[in-house]
Structures are given as C-alpha cells and as structure tokens.
Amino acid sequence: MFLHERICQWLGHLKLSRVILMVSVILFVVPLVTHYYLSKYEATSMTLGGSNMRHTLEALGDLSTMNVVDLKIRIEEMLRIKASVSTELRELEERRGKLQREAAAASAKSDSVKAEYARATAELQRLRVSADQARLAQLEAIRRDSPELAPPAQILPSQPPPILSPISSSSEVHCRMHSCFDHSRCSLTSGFPIYFYDPEKYSPLAGAEVDGFLKTTLRQTLSYNSHLTHNPNEACVYLILVGEGFPLDKSPSSTTDTYKLSLNESAIKSLPYWGGDGRNHVLLNLARRELSVGSGDAFHTASTGRAMIAQSTFTMQQFRPGFDLVTPPALGPPGGDVWADCAPIAPARRKYILSFQGSQTPLPAASSVDNDKFLIETLRKAASAAPLSDVFFLQFECDPPIERRAVVPNGDWALCGTDRSRRSILRDSTFVLILAPADNSYATTALLQARLYEALRSGAIPIILGGDRIRLPFDEVLDWRRATLSLPKARVTELHFLLRALSDADLLAFRRQGRVLWERYLSSVQASMDSLLATVRTRLNIPAQPAVATLGAPAFNDSYYPPKLEPPAVDTEPEETLGPSEAPYPSPAYRRNYSLALLHGYELWNEWGEPFALYPQLPWDPPVTSEARFMGSTAGFRPIGAGAGGSGKEFSEALGGDRPREQFTIVILTYEREAVLAAALARLRGLPYLNKVVVVWNGVSAPAATQAWPESGAPVAVVRAARNSLNNRFLPYNVIDTEAVLCVDDDAHLRHDEIVFAFRVWREHRDRIVGFPGRYHAWDLNFNNGFLYNSNYSCELSMVLTGAAFVHRYYLWAYWRALPAAVRDYVDEYMNCEDIAMNFLVAHITRKPPVKVTSRWTFRCPGCPVTLSADETHFHERHKCIQFFSQVMGYTPLLSTQYRADSVLFKTRIPHDKQKCFKFI
Ligand SMILES: *[C@@H]1O[C@H](CO)[C@@H](O)[C@H](O)[C@H]1NC(C)=O
Ligand SMILES: *[C@@H]1O[C@H](CO)[C@@H](O)[C@H](O)[C@H]1NC(C)=O
Ligand SMILES: *[C@@H]1O[C@H](CO)[C@@H](O)[C@H](O)[C@H]1NC(C)=O
Ligand SMILES: *[C@@H]1O[C@H](CO)[C@@H](O)[C@H](O)[C@H]1NC(C)=O
C-alpha cells in the first residue's frame, strides 16, 4: 500500500511526459525498498527493550535453540547491512531529489516555451493581419486613380461691382436671387466675404442719426464674424446699417404724430460700391428701442434697387420671399451668455394657461382692417367660462395707458408696462398670445417680433393668432412650427380647447425648442447678425468657414524629443489578437463641404448641428448602403470575413460594420505625474487601431526633457496647455486626426480588449458618449428640489464619465461653442465636473443617454471618484455641479438608460470548435 502511494505521489509530481524516466526510477526503487523493509524490521527488533526482545525471541520458536554467539554474529552482520543500505538509501534520496528538481525545471521550461509559442503565434497572427491590412491599403491606393480632391484656387472678384443702370421700381418688387443677385461675386470657394460699410461714415437716413449702441455693437460683433473682409473689391455681400435711427431735430413738436424715418435715397445711391443698382447689398434696419413708435419700416416708399432688405417690419407686398430677410429686433445684449435671462423649462404648465398684455389704437374702418373686436370678445368669454384650473391673464388695455406718442399706425398691439413687469407675467404663462396686426397687409412688424423674442426668452409658448400670414425671423431656414403655434384668427373660438389638448411632453418640447432657437439665433445682436449672414450664405450653398482647431503648444520642439524606452513587459495575460497594427491613418476630413447644407441643412439649423462653422466630420455623416460597400464604393471598408462574416479569427481581423476603416486617438490629461503617465503610455503598447496619443500637459512646469518616455507603439504628441484647467481635456487640438477620441485619465487601467470593444461599439453610436464608468442623477428626496450626483451601484445610469470614454471629435468643438461659458467657468472654479458638463452637452444635443460597455472586471480607476467615496466634499461639489448646470441650461438634459453593451456572442453557448468575438467580453 505504502509503496503504491509513494509511487502515485511521485507520479503526481512528475509529468506523464517523463514516464520513461519514471520507469527507470521504479526499476531502481523496487528492490531497494524491499531492502529497506527488511532492514527496518531488523532495526526495530534491535532497538526493542529486553523483555520485549525476549518475547520476540520466544515467538521466533525454533530460533531459541541458537546460541548467543551465533546470534551476535548475525546481528552484527545485519547491522552492517543496515548501515550500507541506509547509505545507499540516502544516496538514492538525494538522486530522487535531484531528479525531481530537474523534472520541475524541465516542466517550467516547457511551460515557458509553450507560453512563448502562444505569444509568438499571436504575434505572427498579428503580423499576418497587419500585412494583409497593409496590402489592402496599398491596393486601395493604387486603385484610386484620381488624386485626393483639392479645392480649386479661391476665386475672388478683384474689382468693385461695375456700375450698371438702375432698375425700375416696378421691377424691384419682383427681385429674387436669380434676378437681382450677382452670383459671380460669390464663387463656391470664395468663403463668402462680407464688406461692412463703416456706420460712422455712411448714415443713409434722411435727417436722422443711427443709434449709437447699434453702431458700436455691430462693428464689434461683425469683427468676430469670420466672413468679414476689409477689402471691398473681393466682397460677395455689402452690408450697410440703415437704422434704427433718431431724428436729428429733437424738438418735442411731434407729440401727436409718429415720426416716420425715411431712407435718404441719394445717400444710398452714392455708396461707393452701390454699382448703380445696389446688387449684393443688404440694407439692415434693426429695430431696438423705439419699438412702440412704429419706426419699423424705413424703406416704405423708398427705392432700394436690387438691394436686399433686412428688418423686422414688412408688408405682404413689400416682402420678397427668398430675397428679403426678417430679422429679430436687437433687444438682447451685444453678445455673451444669455442664460440668466431665461426661465426654467419645467414645470410644463404654469400659473396662467394663456396671457396677453397689449393695447391697440383703433384704426379707421376700412376693408382690409378688422379691429379684432370679435377676437377680443371671444377670448374674454373663453377666459370667464374657463374652469378654475385654467387661469387666463388677458389685458387688452394698458394700465397705466401708454403714452400718446406711441400710437401704432397699423392696428398693431403696443407693449404694456415695463420690460420687467411683462417678463414676470411671461414667466408665469404656459402660452402667450401674439396677435397679428389688425392691418391685414402686414406680414410682420417689429412689435410682433419683440413679443416673440420676449416669449421665447421666458419660455411662454407663442400662440400667433393670424400667424398664417406672419413671417418669423429667418423662416427660410428655421422651423418655427416646432416652437410656436401659428393659427388663423378664425381659430380663436377653438383656442382654449386646443391649448388643453396638448400633452405635457409636447409643451416641454415646444418650450425647449423655442429656447434653443432663441439662444442660438435671436438672443444677442451677435447671434442675430451671424444668423442673418449665415442665412444668405445658406442660400448660396457656400460652406461656412472651418471651425478653428486649437493649436497645441508642443512640449518638445522639433530638434528635441525625449528618448524612447522599451516598456517593461506587462503582466502576461493570455494573448488574444485584437486587430492589426497599422500605420497611422487619419479620418478623411471635409468630404461634405458642398453637400452638408443641402442634405442636412434642416438639422444644422434646427436640431443637432449649428450652421456657423464647418467641421471636418460630424457624428451624423451618413454611411453608404449595404451593397454599395461591395459594389463601387468598396474603398476603405473592412467587412468581416471579406463579407462572409464570422466570429473569432475573422472578427478580430476586420473592423466590419457600416463604416470604412478608422482609428482612434487617445487624449490623456495629466498633471505633473510623470511616473503615472509613463505607466499609462507603457500599457498602450501593441493596442490596435490606435492612431496617436495626445498628452495634454496641464502642469505649470514643462515636462522634464531628460526623462525617457516609454514607447507606446503610436506617435505621442505632448501639448502644453496655456493654463491648468480640466476643460483642457476637451480642447479641439489640431493634432487630433481621427473622429473617435478616447478620453482617459492617466491612472485609468483599461485592458486592450476593453478599449477595442468600446471602439467598435462607439462606431455604431458615433453621436454618443461610449465608455465605462457609469453614474446617474438621483432626485433629491429630502429637499425635492433638483438632482444629486450618485455613483452607487444601480441598474440605471445617465452619465458615462469621460475618465474612460469615447466621444466624437465634434463634441470637443461643441464643448466650447455650444455650452454656455458659465459651465466652463464653474468647472474651472471648482476644478471638478468637466465630465458631467460633457454628459450634459451630448445629452442636450442628441436627446439620447450615453452607452455603457461591459468591462471584463470591475473597472479599476485609482484616481476616480469611486475611491473618493469617503470624500464628502467631492460628492457635495458634484451635486452642486448638476444643479448649477441644470440651472444654466434651463433643464437637466440627462436621459437614463438601463442597458449596457457587450459583444454579440458573449455568454452564448456555441459549439466547441467555434470561437466567440472576444475571449473575455
Ligand atoms: C473643404 O473645406 C475645407 C475647410 O475649409 C478645406 O480644407 C478643404 O480643402 C475643402 N475641400 C474641398 C474639396 O473643397
Ligand atoms: C442725403 O444724403 C446726401 C448725400 O450723402 C446728403 O448730401 C444729404 O444732405 C442727405 N439728406 C438728408 C435729408 O439727410
Ligand atoms: C528644444 O528643446 C530642448 C529641451 O527642451 C532645448 O534644450 C532646446 O534648446 C530646444 N531647441 C530649440 C531650437 O528651441
Ligand atoms: C450609496 O449606498 C450606501 C449604502 O447602500 C448608502 O448608505 C448611501 O447613502 C448611498 N449614497 C447615495 C449618494 O445614495
């Protein structure tokens, strides 16, 4: 038994592969062990005490007759044998130990050789895949017989507009772009240069002076516009500020009459680039302070040649659709943040269901005029018949009555009270009534535009009665149906019913959209001027100027770059081929210069986009159709299994999907932690699809020049930020060449398979934040007054922290252009919450939650807030961030999600000869 166990034990120790060795050992051992037993028996007999020995001897029976001497000799002999056997045994034991050690060493060596073989196989596989990829890329390069398209030389006119004979005033009313605009001055590649006549020098109002505020503000805001040129000879469009102005003669004689400002035609016609007929001129009359005095139309009887007119007041006859422009009045600040003027979007229903404040000067009875008597009656009746829950605030006479001077000529409704008193009513109104002027010949008036402006600012949803003939600002590009309700006046009898029929969700959507349009296009003079020019540019399908990328100050100059270190081998994980290592391949940029505004003009103005700049790529760029990937448009596509599909090997070799191949950039924000950064770079070694690592050096002092940096396998660009700010993580650096940007903290440990999987998921959710650490906003049950930040385990999340997440490069621009500056200032003040801000931004633009991807193990992120859970102030700050950002944006844009993404065959039972997508995720 014992022997058998021994052998088994040995066999257990040694591997089967060394059976032959074993056999020889056994051959040795068996006889020896027999020996051993023998000697052991004898030794035992010898060492026993006298009585016991006697016992034993007696038991031996016939031995008792042997004489003592004989016995002694035999004992001595036995003892000799025993000594020799034990020596032999010791030697044997030694040999056994030695053999065992040798066996262990051999086994270790075989293991390491096996691991080396696996690594080599994986490496070979990678190299093979890389070589295949390189061959494909080369083939594509050869096949493409046309060179990369570069725009032709910029064509700009070099002469001022030639003088042509003026057109008759009867043909002026028929002016359209095709008949009155000179397209030859505005080539597609011209960049849409605009010349602005100096308002100090050119004042084309008769006997009046242009408002000083407007002059200064316009000069200033236009200087920020990238289309402004100082060279009138190359300009496409000439802009001249006409009004609003004030009579130079300030005598108070005109108490009864409205003063009518009129255009000094001879001043207009003598403008240096008028060219005889005013082609490509925009005459701008911005209504501002004197809204109530009917100064709206400065061009009423004037002849303006082929010039376009931009103002807030138009009659139906006068307005030339697609040519003239309805502009909002200049009621806001010159520029800057406007959020503080706005009201929060929730709750959907406010104190008053409908409000109106205004007073109308009765018009002489005439066919085109109805004094809105019926309308007022009906509304009053509806208000008094309404249930208690529906409070109307209707005021058809101002209290106190407005000055007589402010008599409005066209049956328009003058504004009652002060700006502040009106604002407080509007903030309490779910809907606000806007009445089209009683004079049917008007398509819009400055007063009506002012009402619209106020309503949107305070979140009261505008109901425009008589709206079926009303034109709203920039309505050729803006979809006002999503922010206002336009009804014919005849609908007044059904108004109350209609207002009640709208759901809360719709009310909130109207209000939110109204605020978006107001903030982007009307709120400030800058916003309305940029919109005015962008509208004309959109007509001509000239692309906007490209968005400016941040020039990162390189931390190292051309002549010096720190030495590269081969990083120490990372802890050996089972090797898995995740993709080819390829040469850096930037994402194709600016491929839609001339199609974007045509295909996505609506979304650019009304949804996710913005029309003021051109971006190299957008998350919403359309993919080609499925078969086109194999027919004609194959370039760049890497279908899985060359189109046959597959898992495992085929999957890991190709990106697949509906988009051409691409790579991603890693942006690491670091603050003077060289060692942590070095470890982060070392971990990236061998990561497929990595285009470049951009290290944003947030430190005050430059990175040490002498320290060697570990090789990360991709180019590393180190840029120094101008100042230490967490917002720097989202600067749109010019060194970023790909659409996909992976933001990581320097101490975030992400495995390669996690990164590659997240990249593949992001490719299908390009407009969202795709990443690992999920958080959510939880309602504050104690104070019932907003949301708190929460990082507890939960089955619902609404944020993915940008300490480890993919975002589209477009959002790096949007962070600086679409987010109110107050948010970024707050991030700087508290040195926290830039990740929350990015989540707010993306959710605001897309109205979608982020995507969380599966990570193999618990996400490790030493510097992340997770480990700070004890830190009360951290959480306190993050609560405050959510509340402040919500206040700035008027609502909390975050949306919740209850699912996360894992790879298709994860946890699927598949035949043993098949492979999954990833080994572990
Ligand atoms: C598109 O616009 C970008 C930015 O202005 C420019 O760099 C690029 O050359 C343009 N491409 C074409 C084909 O016009
Ligand atoms: C109209 O403009 C002309 C030329 O600039 C100027 O001489 C004239 O005084 C202006 N007329 C009025 C009424 O301002
Ligand atoms: C480049 O950088 C190195 C180290 O930072 C510095 O010693 C060297 O003077 C710089 N060279 C130039 C041309 O700026
Ligand atoms: C998170 O969970 C713990 C334990 O369940 C609880 O004590 C704590 O209040 C929670 N924190 C938040 C912010 O909800």
Per-residue model confidence (pLDDT) at position 48 = 44
Residue of 790, 792, 879 to test ligand 4 pocket, by largest number of atoms within 8 Å of CB: 792
The residue whose C-alpha atom lies closest to atom 7 belonging to ligand 1 is 590
User: Of 14-28, 553-567, 687-701, which one has max mean pLDDT?
Assistant: 687-701
The dihedral built from the CA positions of residue 699, 705, 710 and 714, taken in this order, carries a sign that is: positive
pLDDT at 866 over 60: no
The answer to whether residues 286 and 297 touch, using CB atoms and an 8 Å cutoff, is: no
Q: Is 270 in the pocket of ligand 2 (CB under 6 A)?
A: yes
Per-residue model confidence (pLDDT) at position 452 = 96
Per-residue model confidence (pLDDT) at position 369 = 53
Could you give the CA distance from residue 357 to residue 417 in angstroms, rounded to a whole number?
A: 8
Per-residue model confidence (pLDDT) at position 863 = 46
Residue that the structure tokens 């060359």 belong to: 642
* More confident site: 574 or 214: 214
Per-residue model confidence (pLDDT) at position 290 = 60
Per-residue model confidence (pLDDT) at position 549 = 93
pLDDT band at 137 (very low <50, low <70, confident <90, very high): confident
User: Of 28-37, 144-153, 431-440, which one has max mean pLDDT?
Assistant: 431-440
Q: Is 593 in the pocket of ligand 1 (CB under 6 A)?
A: yes
Per-residue model confidence (pLDDT) at position 2 = 44
Distance of CA 421 to the CA centre of its chain: 39
The answer to whether residues 454 and 427 touch, using CB atoms and an 8 Å cutoff, is: no
Q: Could you read off the pLDDT of 610-665 as tens digits, one per residue?
A: 999 999 999 999 999 999 999 988 889 999 999 999 998 899 989 999 999 999 99
Q: What percent of the chain is predicted at pLDDT more than 90?
A: 58
- CA 705 to ligand 3 centroid distance, Å: 9
Give the mean model confidence (pLDDT) for residues 580-609.
93
Per-residue model confidence (pLDDT) at position 361 = 72
* More confident site: 559 or 168: 168
pLDDT at 521 over 70: yes
Give the mean model confidence (pLDDT) for residues 804-822.
96
pLDDT at 41 over 80: no
Atom number of ligand 4 nearest to Cα 789: 13
Could you give the CA distance from residue 193 to residue 182 in angstroms, rounded to a whole number?
A: 14
Q: How many CB atoms lie within 10 A of CB 640?
A: 18
User: Of 28-42, 293-307, 510-524, 569-583, which one has max mean pLDDT?
Assistant: 510-524
Residue of 558, 560, 706, 707 to test ligand 3 pocket, by largest number of atoms within 8 Å of CB: 560
Per-residue model confidence (pLDDT) at position 116 = 82
Q: Is 784 in the pocket of ligand 4 (CB under 6 A)?
A: no
pLDDT at 917 over 60: yes
**Mean pLDDT, the chain, integer:** 86
Per-residue model confidence (pLDDT) at position 133 = 83
Per-residue model confidence (pLDDT) at position 407 = 53
pLDDT band at 703 (very low <50, low <70, confident <90, very high): confident
Give the mean model confidence (pLDDT) for residues 346-358.
95
Return the minimum-mean-pLDDT range out of 175-184, 300-309, 542-551, 552-561. Answer: 552-561
Per-residue model confidence (pLDDT) at position 64 = 60
pLDDT band at 711 (very low <50, low <70, confident <90, very high): confident
Active-site residue, selected from the candidate residues 506, 746, 835, 902:
835
- CA 266 to ligand 2 centroid distance, Å: 7
pLDDT band at 336 (very low <50, low <70, confident <90, very high): confident
Give the mean model confidence (pLDDT) for residues 305-334.
93
In DSSP terms, 900 is beta-bridged to 852
Give the mean model confidence (pLDDT) for residues 309-336.
93
Q: Which of 899, 897, 900, 894 is CA-nearest to residue 777?
A: 894
The residue whose C-alpha atom lies closest to atom 4 belonging to ligand 2 is 267
pLDDT at 553 over 80: yes
Helices (H) and strands (E) in the chain, counts: 22, 31
- Angle between helix axes 212-223 and 525-540 (nearest 10 degrees) is 60
Task: Give me the phi and psi of 301, to 5 degrees please.
Answer: -110, 5
Return the minimum-mean-pLDDT range out of 154-163, 249-258, 324-333, 786-795. Answer: 249-258
Per-residue model confidence (pLDDT) at position 141 = 79
Q: Is 790 in the pocket of ligand 4 (CB under 6 A)?
A: yes
* More confident site: 141 or 92: 92
The answer to whether residues 612 and 542 touch, using CB atoms and an 8 Å cutoff, is: no
In DSSP terms, 697 is beta-bridged to 670, 720
Per-residue model confidence (pLDDT) at position 47 = 46
Q: Is 264 in the pocket of ligand 2 (CB under 6 A)?
A: yes
Residues 93, 94, 96, 100, Cα dihedral to 10°: 140
Give the mean model confidence (pLDDT) for residues 665-691.
90
Parallel, antiparallel, or unpaired for β 413-414 and 740-745? unpaired
Per-residue model confidence (pLDDT) at position 625 = 95
Per-residue model confidence (pLDDT) at position 136 = 84
Q: Which of 327, 320, 326, 288 is CA-nearest to residue 304?
A: 320
pLDDT at 399 over 50: yes
Q: Is 782 in the pocket of ligand 4 (CB under 6 A)?
A: no
Give the mean model confidence (pLDDT) for residues 193-210.
89
Q: How many CB atoms lie within 10 A of CB 574?
A: 10
835 is catalytic: yes
pLDDT band at 580 (very low <50, low <70, confident <90, very high): confident
The model's pTM: 0.85
pLDDT band at 862 (very low <50, low <70, confident <90, very high): very low
Q: Could you read off the pLDDT of 438-485 as tens digits, one per residue?
A: 888 899 998 899 999 999 999 999 999 999 999 999 999 999 999 999
The residue whose C-alpha atom lies closest to atom 14 belonging to ligand 3 is 557
Who's near 123: CB < 8 A, 6+ residues apart? none
Helix (H) or strand (E) holding 853: strand 851-853
Per-residue model confidence (pLDDT) at position 117 = 85
Counting ligands in written order, the one closest to the CA of 875 is 4
Parallel, antiparallel, or unpaired for β 429-435 and 352-357? parallel
Could you give the CA distance from residue 296 to residue 260 in angstroms, rounded to a whole number?
A: 9
Q: Is 149 in the pocket of ligand 1 (CB under 6 A)?
A: yes
pLDDT band at 858 (very low <50, low <70, confident <90, very high): low
Q: Is 590 in the pocket of ligand 1 (CB under 6 A)?
A: yes
Counting ligands in written order, the one closest to the CA of 707 is 3
Q: Reading across the β-sheet that carries 770-771, which strands appear in turn?
A: 553-554, 716-720, 690-697, 664-670, 740-745, 804-808, 770-771, 851-853, 900-901
Per-residue model confidence (pLDDT) at position 7 = 45
pLDDT band at 435 (very low <50, low <70, confident <90, very high): very high
Q: What is the DSSP string of 329-360?
A: ---S-SSS--GGGSPP--SSS-SEEEEEE-EE
pLDDT band at 883 (very low <50, low <70, confident <90, very high): very high
Q: Count of residues for the chain?
A: 921
Give the mean model confidence (pLDDT) for residues 726-746.
95
Per-residue model confidence (pLDDT) at position 577 = 83
pLDDT at 865 over 80: no
pLDDT band at 35 (very low <50, low <70, confident <90, very high): low
